[in-house]
Every structure is written in C-alpha cells, then in structure tokens.
C-alpha cells in the first residue's frame, strides 16, 4: 500500500537556521508530490507541488523541495527560517491521474525568535 513517511515529528530551530524536513514515500508508479503547511488556527495551505519537469521545485515563502526519484524522497528546505514559519508541515503524495492524496504524519516546526 502507498505510504508517506515524515521522519521528523518535532523540530525546533532558531531564526536564520536552515531547515530540511524529510519525506519519503512508497509507490512505484508516477506520483505527484506536495507539501502543505498549517499555521496555528488556519487551514492547510499548499506550499509547493511537483508534477513533472525540474525536480527542484520552488514554492511560496522561500521554501523549495527536491524530488529524488531514486530515493523516493521529496524533502522540504528553507535556507533561513523565520519565527513566522512556526507551523505544522505535511508531505502528501498522490498517484498521477487520481485524486487520492496520502498524507504523512506531519512535522511540527517551532522557530524561536
């Protein structure tokens, strides 16, 4: 069965530190990949997505993610985090051509001012 694994459940960083959140999935076919963010008290919002093309995807607010097919990974990065990046981050995968999203367990990021 398809699954998505996020290795870091809780991450605490100081402002200006670099961020990398891991995401691995299990599926052998063509997939579409997403990172969603949920700020405290708000809806889930799309940060970035990968469908095809350049495996390095840039999203909003300075986030980027790299799709490494051989490693079944789609790690999220940001060179310098801000206090306002405090949120929960979810990696999601769906089979290309379907709408069934599989979410990871989420990573709670806390950025200390």
DSSP characters over 21-72:
E--EEE-SS-EEEEEEEE-TTS-EEEEEEE-SS-SEEE-GGG-EEEEEGGGT
- Least distance from another protein to the Cβ atom of residue 32, Å: 6
User: Which of 49, 77 has the CB closer to another protein?
Assistant: 49
How many other CB atoms are found less than 10 A from the CB of residue 78?
21
Q: For another protein, which is the closer residue by CB, 70 or 99?
A: 99
Q: Least CB distance from residue 111 to another protein, whole Å?
A: 20
What is the closest distance, in whole angstroms, from the C-beta atom of residue 18 to another protein in the complex?
Answer: 25
CA 94 to each of CA 34, 101, 103: distance values in angstroms, whole numbers, following the listed order: 9, 5, 9
CB 22, min distance to another protein, A: 15
Distance CA 31, CA 25 (A): 10
Question: Which residue, 100 or 113, has its beta carbon nearer to another protein?
Answer: 100
- The residues of the shown chain that bind another protein, judged by CB under 8 A, are 4, 9, 32, 34, 36, 42-46, 49, 51, 90, 94, 99-106
């Amino acid at each position: 069965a398809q699954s998505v694994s996020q290795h870091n459940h809780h991450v605490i960083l100081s402002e200006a530190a670099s961020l990398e959140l891991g995401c691995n999935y299990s599926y052998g076919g063509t997939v579409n990949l997403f990172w969603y963010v949920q700020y405290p008290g708000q809806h889930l919002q799309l940060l970035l997505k990968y469908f095809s093309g350049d495996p390095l995807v840039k999203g909003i607010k300075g986030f980027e993610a790299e799709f490494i097919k051989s490693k079944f990974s789609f790690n999220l990065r940001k060179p310098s985090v801000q206090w306002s990046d405090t949120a929960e981050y979810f990696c999601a995968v769906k089979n290309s051509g379907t709408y069934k999203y599989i979410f990871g367990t989420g990573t709670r990021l806390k950025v200390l001012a």
